[in-house]
């Protein structure tokens, strides 16, 4: 007689989802640089992001209302979420898309933003009181070396010099998401993830829409690349990716969570190989292995 199958309990399901969340986040987040490259010839960056932020606000607000999620109580809750949205969504994404639009290769933009764990680890101690162990510092260093190996051929054989203003803006975006991660960890522990994310994108839209109206002409071409990029940016990146990121920040130390960003450049390079036919040199494959090892060391425990 065959044994009866046991039903899967909710705790088991939650535990499985928690184990899959880091990998899902890396895959989703890596597509952001692909989207920036995809739409750059067809839409102005701030105008595209304005549409993305407004669409995300609509989707997340509808999700929160249908599910009966609890909205922030009082001005402080709204303020905390709005500040996190300006830092994590608005300034960061505006900087990345603007830099790619101004000539920075998407892979190099991914490498620059992969410096975020170094900034976070350095700031987590004095701002949050987290102790960053020597093992975690070793993992962060390995991750940086691995990300550099993956993108070194692109930097060495790149299509000319990187525009200095694009590099400076991308670095500012990296500093912004670092501060936003720390702010979210410090202020968002009790917030509902669904409504917190919705309010964050309200803050991002409130900052980006006026900038787009002031600095751009509103050019968005009606081509498949823009439609697909906008749909994925709203549903995959802004809804799926951000909800996973906020959940990871809540569950773990911010230095360990931020180490996941080191996997984004290698995954972006792999996506470029599959989607655009870019080849991977042996040193890049080695870099992927080193980056994975670094994330494993930094995130352990």
Tell me, what's the pLDDT at 252?
Answer: 65
Query: What tokens appear for 94 in the block?
Result: 């505006």
Neighbouring C-beta atoms of residue 90, cutoff 10 Å: 26
Q: Which domain holds residue 273?
A: 24-299
Any domain includes 68: yes
Tell me, what's the pLDDT at 2?
Answer: 45
Burial string for 46-59 (b: 16+ CB within 10 Å, else e) reads: bbbbbbbbbbbbeb
Residue with tokens 């996997």: 263
Any domain includes 165: yes
Q: How far apart are CA 80 and CA 253, in angstroms?
A: 19
Q: How many domains does the chain have?
A: 1
Any domain includes 219: yes
Q: Give the pLDDT means over successive 10-residue stretches in the chain (301 positions).
A: 47 59 83 88 95 94 90 89 94 93 80 77 70 81 82 58 81 91 79 86 95 94 94 89 76 66 78 72 81 75 50
Any domain includes 6: no
Q: How far apart are CA 80 and CA 8, in angstroms?
A: 37
Q: How far apart are CA 97 and CA 219, in angstroms?
A: 15
Neighbouring C-beta atoms of residue 207, cutoff 10 Å: 19
Any domain includes 5: no
Cβ-contact 176, 89 below 8 angstroms: no
Any domain includes 127: yes
């Amino acid at each position: 007689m065959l044994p009866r199958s046991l039903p899967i309990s909710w705790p088991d399901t939650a535990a499985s989802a928690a184990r899959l969340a880091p990998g899902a986040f890396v895959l989703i987040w890596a597509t952001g640089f692909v989207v920036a490259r995809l739409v750059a010839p067809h839409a102005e960056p701030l105008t595209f992001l304005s549409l993305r932020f407004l669409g995300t606000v609509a989707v997340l607000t509808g999700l929160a209302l249908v599910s009966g999620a609890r909205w922030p109580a009082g001005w402080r809750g709204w303020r905390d979420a709005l500040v996190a949205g300006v830092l994590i969504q608005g300034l960061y994404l505006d900087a990345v898309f603007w830099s790619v639009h101004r000539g920075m290769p998407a892979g190099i933009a991914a490498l620059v933003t992969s410096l975020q764990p170094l900034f976070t680890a350095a700031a987590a101690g004095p701002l949050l009181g987290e102790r960053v162990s020597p093992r975690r510092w070793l993992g962060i260093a390995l991750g940086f070396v691995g990300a550099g190996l993956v993108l070194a051929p692109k930097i060495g054989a790149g299509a000319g010099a990187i525009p200095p203003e694009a590099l400076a803006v991308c670095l500012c975006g990296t500093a912004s998401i670092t501060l936003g991660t720390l702010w979210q960890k410090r202020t968002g522990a009790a917030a509902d993830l669904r409504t917190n994310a919705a309010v964050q994108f309200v803050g991002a839209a409130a900052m980006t829409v006026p900038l787009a109206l002031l600095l751009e002409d509103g050019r968005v071409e009606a081509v498949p690349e823009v439609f697909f990029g906008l749909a994925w940016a709203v549903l995959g990146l802004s809804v799926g990716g951000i909800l996973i990121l906020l959940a990871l920040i809540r569950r773990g130390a911010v230095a360990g969570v931020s180490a996941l960003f080191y996997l984004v450049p290698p995954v972006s390079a792999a996506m470029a190989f599959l989607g655009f036919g870019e080849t991977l040199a042996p040193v890049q494959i080695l870099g992927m292995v080193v980056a994975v090892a670094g994330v494993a060391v930094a995130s352990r425990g």
